[in-house]
A and B are shown apart, each in its own frame.
Chain A
Amino acid sequence: MTRTAWTWLILTLAAVALVLGPLDLTEFGIPYAGLKRYGIYILTLWLVTAVAAMGVNLIVGYAGQETLAQAAFLGIGAYATALMAKAGYPFGAAFAASGVVSFVVGILLAFPALRVQKHYLAFVTLAFAIFVWLVIRNEEWLTGGVSGMDVRRPALLGLSLRPALYFYWFTLAITAVLVFAMWWLLRSPWGRAFTALRENPIRAESLGVDVRMYTVLAFAIGSAYGGFAGSLYAPLVEFIDPAPFSLAPSLLLLLMVVIGGAGSFLGPFVGAAVAVLLPEWLRFAESYYLIIYAVLVIVMMAFCPTGIVGLAERLLRSRRRNGVQDGTVALTRAKQ
């Protein structure tokens, strides 16, 4: 089987698993009881988090910039959706507006990136994240401040998405579209230019790549993904307050990308799974779970700086090499 055929087979199986994952399959003779409401909520949260992490991965992993502000864009998207829903706009319009507003704010945030690099840039984005969080917390007339805002789940063609399962499928469909859009972007000349920006901006510029333009685009598109994620997050949790949009979640989103594999397409999904699902699996450890989590992260970074996807690729490559060596030995023996 060719590599493309393998890829399609794995993608199809993953899609089927994601669609059927929450369902009880025992009626069909398959010993799988599906997920309860909380399990479906966690799975949906994983998708939403992965969308936000995809944006960080574009900015940090592909374009080689720094951002500690993704949770701020999550907040911009969430509050834009909540405010527009309150004003009576349909979810589709609120979702689009969340992306557009984040895209535009992302352009503004990108301008410092044209002047400062590395940790200086990280501090600029950090200051922006704190600024957005303060606005959300203090401008009570607009955001409700620490009292927060209620958000209703939308309806789709007359069908209410209030049931967790329906909202999960809805989020899955939107995530699929956003994954396809990101894949298209990264396989296009723009994706190659982003990689060039990360690897060698001076050479890229000398080859006609407008480094300033692509830096701004990376920030704007990555931030728009944060806005889209926020737009899905608000109706998922049905109540938003400033806490999830503070600095700590921004750091966590960056950690997800690094743990999953910065600059790898699947990295944000794997990283988001570690950040969202691992704490659930570690619940048995009760108050020790954060210590175990921290140790896992330290071990991971020390022994595999390319993240989990990088580790998997390394293992696959070494297995393939061993396979080729075994084949060569067998062939030599057969000849003898």
Chain B
Amino acid sequence: MTVVLEVRDLAKSFGGVHAVNGVSFDVHQGEILGLIGPNGSGKSTLFNCILGQLEPTRGEVRVDGKTITGKRPSALNRLGIGRTFQLLQIFPQLSVRENLILAGQEHKGSMLSRLFGAGDAGLSADADRMIAFFRLQHLADEAAGALSYGQQKLLDAAMAFMAGPRLVLLDEPAGGVNLTMLASLKERLQAINQDTKATFVVIEHNMEFVMALCTRILVLAEGRIIAEGPPAAIHRDPKVIEAYLGH
């Protein structure tokens, strides 16, 4: 299987704290890889180093064999890498449709064509399809800030997929989402994975969600990978149990 994302010896230190300490792993095309670990284990820092939000202390990140270490997040997004954040990140004053158009507009044409062309960058129909896919039709013209938390989480995820990315890194997509919305979110993510063969890396604390969604799981503790394997094996791994329960 083709390797989409390669992480080699990635490390990030804040003073004397080694948040990520020599992490290496591969993610294959179409795979849904789970990244779990106790709070403070370095998961979000690892994401931020991969996605250019933080500059790693050492190591290398490659996508499709090309080094992307040190590239700006906007440049990575234009290479087809999407993401969501641990905390909800939408544009509350824009409508649901406008949020989605914004999420796709920088992939359409040049700066000049975006200035002189259509106001919606020709993305209204695509945005409406994405709205329908995430079952938010009745909210399309509402300000995103007026949506419930669960609906905003769906919108946040939808925005990450608007530009048709090949690789998406989702940071706690299920955090604070109620059971009904959670089932809907899992089903939608699996549907996108099936339809587009996009590759996902998912950080999650909700074990039930991550075990049901992911095909392989990496466990991070104190900035290092301590276990790797299919969900059933990870569930029983004594090192994982120790890392979570501390004994």
Chain A interface (Cβ < 8 Å from any Cβ of B) = 185, 187-190, 192-193, 195-196, 199-200, 202-211, 213
Contacts and interface: CB of A to CB of B under 8 A. Distances in A.
Contacts of A200: 89-91
Contact of B105 (A185, A192, A203): A192
A206 B90 contact: no
B217 to A, nearest CB: 24
A189 B127 CA distance: 14
B74 A208 contact: yes
A208 B163 contact: yes
| Interface residue SS majority, chain A | helix
Contacts of B73: 205-206
A190 B114 contact: yes
Contacts of A211: 74
A206 B105 contact: no
A203 B94 contact: no
B78 interface: yes
Given A187-B119, A189-B114, A193-B105, A202 B91 contact: no
Taking residues whose C-beta sits less than 8 angstroms from the other chain, chain B's interface range is: 20 to 34
Contacts of A210: 72, 74, 106
A41 to B, nearest CB: 35
Nearest to A203: B89
Given A185-B115, A188-B114, A193 B89 contact: no
Contacts of B82: 206
Nearest to A192: B102
A206 B83 contact: yes
A203 B74 contact: no
Given A189-B115, A196-B94, A207-B163, 7 more contacts: A188-B116, A188-B119, A190-B114, A192-B94, A199-B94, A200-B91, A206-B77
B147 interface: no
A211 B52 CA distance: 14
B107 interface: yes
Contacts of B105: 189, 192-193
B91 A189 contact: no
Contacts of A213: 111
A283 B131 CA distance: 56
B121 interface: yes
Contacts of B19: none
Interface in B38-67: 51, 53
Contacts of B89: 200, 202-203, 206
A188 B115 contact: yes
Contacts of B134: none
B90 A203 contact: yes
B116 to A, nearest CB: 8
A205 B119 contact: no
A208 B75 CA distance: 6
Contact of A208 (B51, B78, B85, B92): B78
Contact of B106 (A188, A202, A209): A209
